[in-house]
Amino acid sequence: MSTDTSTLRSDVRYEPDDRPPTLLVAGLGLQLAILTISGIVLTPLIVIKAAGGSENYMMWAVFASVVISGISTILQAVKVGRIGAGYVLLMGTSGAFIAICITAIAEGGPAMLATLVIISSLFQFALAKRLSLFRRILTPTVAGTVIMLISVTVMPIIFDLLDNVQEAAHPQAAPISALVTVLVITAIALKGAGVFRLWAPVAGVIVGSIVGGFFGIYDTARISEAAWIGFPKGGWPGLDLSFGPTFWALLPGFIFVTLIGAIETVGDSVAIQRISWRRPRAIDFRSVQGAVAADGVGNLLSGCAGTIPNTTYSTSVSVTELTGVGTRTVGVAAGIVFLILACFPKALGAILAIPSPVAAGYLAILVAMLFVVGMKVVVQDGIDYRKGMIAGVSFWVGVGFQNGVIFPEYFAEFAGGLLQNGMTAGGLAALLLTLFIEVTEPRRRRIELPFHITILPKIREFLQSFASHSGWGKAMADRLDAASEETLLTLLEQKTASDEEEPLRRLRIIAHKEGDEAVLEFVASATEENLEDQIALLGERATEAPTEQEVSLRLLQHIASSVQHQQYYDTDILKIRVKAPAPSSD
């Protein structure tokens, strides 16, 4: 089965529903905010300075970015309706938008940027609502590859930070403070016991900053010059509703980068689920939909405010993996810290004053762990030569474009330098390769029927025809028949009393052949419990008297070589693989 519960994760101290001590929650929320606030602030600074924007607009954009990051981070954690993941997923300004946002401000002004961000955010809401339609393209292989490529994209920035100190600073200030930060975090994370391990990142930053202060590279002037409480002098730039040639020329680029950002969010929301629970469980794609929708809300708010679009920050996945604390209250705490920092410039200055080499050492460890998380997402989905080819080729395409070594004379200026970002280039390669496999696959056979027990004879006839067309004999046809019967009975058991009062649901069955296996997809209206998790739990209830539903699950477990249950808000997709029996020796 695809969910393995034989080994519990002992390093997970607090799961999403747990309520750890308030001091711990506040400390972890603060360290997450410290980690990401510089990126949230620096992205609009870089964009607006490069585009020649005014000082007042720049201060407004920074303020708005921090406030919106706080709101959307809280929204991801608390999950309002179908918006939000229900996990610790920090939100912040997206570096993938830097190039195209500079172009938008330079050619159309801040009001043009605001309109483009609003329009492109609508595509995220559409993607979140109908995510199930893109399940064969936005696969764990694509998501995991994008996560690994985040490390490739961020590492050059980290390396630049290593020696980003004043010219008058001691020559050894940068390497020593960075090294101390890395050593402290690594030592506590590897050898620290219990609660001490949770404070490894904070301890590393504090000790590294103290060392930096000894060398005089901690920017105390930034703190002393900042006001205690203050708001930006600039204001809202408004919207450009002229929809001229500049708008239509830039809109496709904004939509594409928004799609890449959504893929990153899908990958982050899958990764955070993998590491937040002690007992491995199937990915809840309703949570993934919620994460993409919350990302869309962040982008919509960013557009309305006239600042740079948002995305999920993968460092929250790394910190959760490092500390073992997945409680969603940490996400709420981090969001509150963002809101406080936006209104208290002196507190914001204390964080921004942390020496760049210290921040680089901190980020280097988290990005390294993020790379491993990406590998896990790819491998845990089950890897074959096709998935390995997609991940490997796409990763190195991303590395090549990030380093500008793949025909730069042709691609350096393509689409405003869009492919110079390794995550964008590699993510596009993974999407195209996955799409190529889907387009060139043999035609899938399908049937749609009323979702009722009386359809079993029609399903049997359909599967017999499929087995015959695929070159399999009666033994395989019987095995497919048994698997489909147990699957149908199990799905029907999931219907609640209220379902009986609703119009009869429809069931679509899609069948195709992969090697010596038949792959059957049962697509129906959404149910409550994940059957993949229920199958994984059967072993723990082996001594109890099985219910009728458990009998069906046990038979399905015996017949199928794997079972995957993807739950979306509007759709359930139960995917089973049935291996053809070995040919008779007679």
Tokens of 60: 């407004």
pLDDT confidence tier of residue 470, bands split at 50, 70 and 90 = confident
Any idea which fold 445-579 has?
Heat Shock Protein 90 (3.30.565)
The residue that leads in pLDDT, 414 or 118, is 118
pLDDT confidence tier of residue 415, bands split at 50, 70 and 90 = low
Q: Is the pLDDT of residue 539 over 50?
A: no
What single-letter DSSP state applies at residue 278? Answer: S
Q: Is the pLDDT of residue 504 over 90?
A: no
Specify the pLDDT at position 155.
77
Q: Which amino acid is at 185?
A: I
Q: Single out the residue of 248, 285, 250, 254 nearest to residue 267, CA to CA.
A: 285
Q: Is the pLDDT of residue 497 over 60?
A: no
The residue that leads in pLDDT, 4 or 403, is 403
Q: Is the pLDDT of residue 501 over 50?
A: no
Query: Average pLDDT in the 443-452 region?
Result: 83
Query: How does pLDDT run across 450-467, given as a tens digit for each residue?
Result: 878 888 889 889 988 888
**Distance from C-alpha of 412 to C-alpha of 409, rounded to nearest angstrom:** 6
Q: Which amino acid is at 434?
A: T
Query: Average pLDDT in the 252-272 region?
Result: 79
CA distances from 260 to 5, 87, 122, 306, 316 (A): 32, 21, 14, 21, 19
DSSP 468-527: HHTT--HHHHHHHHHHHHHHHHHHHHT--HHHHHSPPPEEEEEEEEETTEEEEEEEES--
pTM over 0.75: no
**Distance from C-alpha of 1 to C-alpha of 212, rounded to nearest angstrom:** 51
Specify the pLDDT at position 73.
92
Q: Is the pLDDT of residue 544 over 60?
A: no
506-514 and 517-524 beta bridge pairing = antiparallel
Least confident of 38-42, 75-79, 116-120, 393-397: 38-42
Question: Edge-to-edge, what's the strand order for the sheet holding 445-450?
Answer: 445-450, 506-514, 517-524, 572-579, 562-567
Percent of the chain with pLDDT over 70: 83
CA distances from 152 to 284, 350, 395, 420 (A): 28, 29, 9, 12
**Distance from C-alpha of 547 to C-alpha of 578, rounded to nearest angstrom:** 24
How many of the other CB atoms lie within 10 Å of CB of 265?
31
Query: How does pLDDT run across 235-247, given as a tens digit for each residue?
Result: 778 888 888 887 8
Angle at 502 between CA 136 and CA 566, to 5 degrees: 20
Specify whether the CB–CB gap between 307 and 68 falls below 8 A: yes
Specify the pLDDT at position 168.
72
Least confident of 82-96, 324-338, 497-511, 512-526: 497-511
SS3 state of residue 255 = helix
On the 0-12 / 13-18 / 19+ scale of CB atoms within 10 A, 163 is middle
SS3 state of residue 567 = strand
Query: How does pLDDT run across 266-315, given as a tens digit for each residue?
Result: 878 888 888 888 777 777 888 888 999 999 999 999 999 989 888 888 77
Each residue of 132-156: b (16+ CB within 10 Å) or e? bebeeebbbbbbbbbbbbbbbbbbe
Q: Is the pLDDT of residue 420 over 60?
A: yes
Rg of the chain over all Cα atoms, to the nearest angstrom: 26
Specify whether the CB–CB gap between 139 and 434 falls below 8 A: yes
Query: Average pLDDT in the 97-114 region?
Result: 81
Q: What residue spans define the domains of the chain?
A: 22-438, 445-579
Average pLDDT, the chain: 78
Residue 550's φ and ψ, nearest 5 degrees, are -65, -30
Specify the pLDDT at position 200.
76
The residue that leads in pLDDT, 189 or 80, is 80
Query: How does pLDDT run across 553-577, given as a tens digit for each residue?
Result: 566 666 777 777 787 877 778 888 8
Specify whether the CB–CB gap between 575 and 480 falls below 8 A: no
Rounded to the nearest 10 degrees, the angle between the axes of helix 173-191 and helix 140-162 is 140
